[in-house]
Structure 1
Amino acid sequence: MAEVFITRVSKFLPNSPISNDEMEEYLGLVHNSASRAKRIVLRNNGIKQRYYAFDKEGNSTHTNAQLTAEAIEGLYDEHFGPQDMELLSCGTSSPDTLMPSHAVLVHGFLKNRNVEVNCASGNCCAGMNALKFGYLSVKSEQTKNAVCTGSERTSSWMLADKFNVEVEHLEKMEATPILAFKKDFLRFMLSDGAGAFLLEDKPRGTLSLRIDWMEGYSYAHEIETCMYAGCEKEENGEVKPWSLYTPQEWLNESIFAIKQDTKLLDQYILEKGAESLKMAIDKHDISSEEIDYFLPHVSSHYFVEGLGKSLEAHGAPMAPEKWFMNLAQVGNVGAGSIYLMVEELFASGKLKEGDKILLSVPESARFSYTYALLTVVGA
Structure 2
Amino acid sequence: MATTTAYVASAGTALPGEPVDNAVLGKLLGVSSEWIDLFVGTRTRHFGWDLGTGEVRRTLTDLAAEAAGQALEGAGLDPADIEFVVLATATPDTLLPTTATQVADRLGLNYLPVHQLQAGCSGAVQALDLGRALIGDGSRAGLVIGGDVTHRHLDIHRDRSRMPTEELVNYVLFGDGAGAAVLTAEPTDPVGASGGGVALRGVLNHFAGLGRPPGQTVDWYGISDRRQERPLLSEDYKAIEESVPVMAAEILWDLLGLVGWTVDDLDYLLPPQLSQRMTARIVEQLPVPPGIREVSCVTDTGNTGNALPFFQLQRLLPQLRTGQRAIALSVESSKWIKSGFALEKC
Equivalent of 2:105, from 104, 108, 112?
108
Aligned to 1:219: 208
The secondary structure found in structure 2 opposite 1:158 is: coil
- Residues 268 and 99 of structure 1: is their aligned pair in 2 closer, same or farther, counting only changes over 3 Å? same
Equivalent of 1:67, from 58, 63, 67?
63
Aligned to 1:200: 184
C-alpha deviation, 1:24, in angstroms: 5.2
Write the deviation string for residues 216-241 of structure 1: whole angstroms up to 9, x where unpaired: 1222104211111217xxxxxxxxxx
C-alpha deviation, 1:204, in angstroms: 2.2
- Residues 319 and 304 of structure 1: is their aligned pair in 2 closer, same or farther, counting only changes over 3 Å? farther
Checking the alignment, whether the CA contact within 8 Å between 1:82 and 1:113 is kept in structure 2 is no
1:367 to 2:332 alignment: no
Query: Within 1, Cα distance between the matches of 2:72 and 2:261?
Result: 34
- Residues 83 and 102 of structure 1: is their aligned pair in 2 closer, same or farther, counting only changes over 3 Å? same
Checking the alignment, whether the CA contact within 8 Å between 1:358 and 1:372 is kept in structure 2 is yes
- Residues 280 and 79 of structure 1: is their aligned pair in 2 closer, same or farther, counting only changes over 3 Å? closer
Equivalent of 2:313, from 316, 319, 342?
342
Equivalent of 1:97, from 87, 94, 99?
94
Aligned to 2:44: 49
Write the deviation string for residues 189-222 of structure 1: whole angstroms up to 9, x where unpaired: 0111111101111112334311011111222104
Query: Within 2, Cα distance between the matches of 1:10 and 1:182?
Result: 32
Aligned to 1:271: 246
For normalisation by structure 1, the TM-score amounts to 0.82
C-alpha deviation, 1:339, in angstroms: 0.3
1:140 to 2:141 alignment: no
1:253 to 2:225 alignment: no
The secondary structure found in structure 2 opposite 1:247 is: coil
C-alpha deviation, 1:91, in angstroms: 0.7
The secondary structure found in structure 2 opposite 1:96 is: coil
The secondary structure found in structure 2 opposite 1:160 is: coil
Checking the alignment, whether the CA contact within 8 Å between 1:124 and 1:361 is kept in structure 2 is yes
Structure 1: which amino acid aligns with 2:94? T
Equivalent of 2:5, from 3, 6, 30?
3
The secondary structure found in structure 1 opposite 2:61 is: helix
Determine which structure has more spread, i.e. the larger CA radius of gyration: 1
Gaps of 5+ in 2: none
Checking the alignment, whether the CA contact within 8 Å between 1:49 and 1:328 is kept in structure 2 is yes
Checking the alignment, whether the CA contact within 8 Å between 1:217 and 1:276 is kept in structure 2 is no
Aligned to 1:85: 82
C-alpha deviation, 1:81, in angstroms: 0.9
Equivalent of 2:21, from 19, 22, 25?
19
C-alpha deviation, 1:76, in angstroms: 3.0
For normalisation by structure 2, the TM-score amounts to 0.89
Checking the alignment, whether the CA contact within 8 Å between 1:153 and 1:191 is kept in structure 2 is yes
Q: How many residues align?
A: 337
- Residues 222 and 272 of structure 1: is their aligned pair in 2 closer, same or farther, counting only changes over 3 Å? farther
C-alpha deviation, 1:297, in angstroms: 2.1
Structure 2: which amino acid aligns with 1:253? R
Aligned to 2:327: 358
Write the deviation string for residues 329-377 of structure 1: whole angstroms up to 9, x where unpaired: 2221111101001102224xx3211110101111111111211110112
Checking the alignment, whether the CA contact within 8 Å between 2:45 and 2:300 is kept in structure 1 is yes
C-alpha deviation, 1:290, in angstroms: 0.4
Write the deviation string for residues 262-294 of structure 1: whole angstroms up to 9, x where unpaired: 121122111122123212212332111101000
- Residues 160 and 58 of structure 1: is their aligned pair in 2 closer, same or farther, counting only changes over 3 Å? closer
Write the deviation string for residues 309-331 of structure 1: whole angstroms up to 9, x where unpaired: 5433xxxx343642221211222
Identical-pair percentage:
18
Structure 1: which amino acid aligns with 2:69? E
Query: Within 2, Cα distance between the matches of 1:203 and 1:153?
Result: 33
Checking the alignment, whether the CA contact within 8 Å between 2:48 and 2:151 is kept in structure 1 is yes
Query: Within 2, Cα distance between the matches of 1:184 and 1:122?
Result: 23
Checking the alignment, whether the CA contact within 8 Å between 1:311 and 1:318 is kept in structure 2 is no
Write the deviation string for residues 64-122 of structure 1: whole angstroms up to 9, x where unpaired: 11110111111334941112211000011111112222212222322322210111111
1:306 to 2:268 alignment: no
- Residues 116 and 154 of structure 1: is their aligned pair in 2 closer, same or farther, counting only changes over 3 Å? same
CA RMSD, aligned part only? Answer: 2.3
Query: Within 2, Cα distance between the matches of 1:296 and 1:115?
Result: 33
Write the deviation string for residues 149-179 of structure 1: whole angstroms up to 9, x where unpaired: 1111124522322x34xx7xxxxxxxxx711
Checking the alignment, whether the CA contact within 8 Å between 2:202 and 2:255 is kept in structure 1 is no
Query: Within 2, Cα distance between the matches of 1:72 and 1:19?
Result: 27
275-284 vs 332-341, greater mean Cα deviation: 275-284
The secondary structure found in structure 2 opposite 1:297 is: coil
Gaps of 5+ in 1: 168-176, 232-241
Structure 2: which amino acid aligns with 1:247? R
